Amino acid sequence: MSGDRRDRNNGKNRNDRRPILAPRGDYQTLLSFQKAQVVYDITFRFARRFVENGDRTRDQMIQAARSGEKNILEGSKAAVISKETEIKLTGVARASLEELLDDYRDYLRVREKPIWEKDSKEAVYVRRLGCRKPQSYEIYREFIETRPPDVIANIAICLIHQANYLLDRQMTRLERDFMEDGGLRERMTRARLEKRKPPPKQ
């Protein structure tokens, strides 16, 4: 009887322990990553087609888009051992996409092209496309390959807004998780203290 109770208690304790290395899903399933990847695919094509070769803006836009995508990826991978690094890299991704957003706005402004209003029929249509899962460049390929540059820039702006919204929510969740569970050092300390606890009296 006592042996059965001890086994049940030990099993309960094992199940209740939080892992030292935080679990992490595949970054490719993150909607923020999927959005950022689409933004990169659009920006790479847009910059090479519509920004003059030799203009520093071309490389800056492509690099900002790449930074947005790759820092989400790196942050997701780093999460296994460092929640702090995940938060930092996710913040870098957010900042890079904000820089890219401003580049697209500049492109339209200096050419005296309109930026779509949030509730315009065009913006609403793009947001609906943005609800499809998973997100991929193929959803937007027809528009990117057939529409004029001001339309493509506005599509990119809509998608960057969506990606930034997702990253803001992701950052809030990551910060909350860090406050509740701490990082690797805190988890290791808890594990050591748990290991040093004397066994329960039988």
Sequence ranges of the domains in the chain: 29-192
**CA-to-CA dists, residue 150 to 46, 112, 186, 199, angstroms:** 10, 10, 50, 69
Q: pTM for the complete prediction?
A: 0.78
d(CA 98, CA 161): 9
Give tens-digit pLDDT for 169-182. 999 998 887 666 65
Crossing angle of helices 121-129/149-181, nearest 10°? Answer: 50
> Helices 149-181 and 83-110, interaxial angle, to 10°?
160
**Strand (E) or helix (H) holding 22:** none
Got the DSSP string for 57-102? HHHHHHHHHHHHHHHHHHHHHHTTT-HHHHHHHHHHHHHHHHHHHH
Q: What is the pLDDT along the chain (202 residues), one digit of tens a residue?
A: 444 444 444 444 444 454 444 455 578 999 999 999 999 999 999 999 999 999 999 999 999 999 999 999 999 888 777 888 899 999 999 999 999 999 999 999 999 999 999 999 999 999 999 999 999 999 999 999 999 999 999 999 999 999 999 999 999 998 887 666 654 455 445 444 555 566 776 6
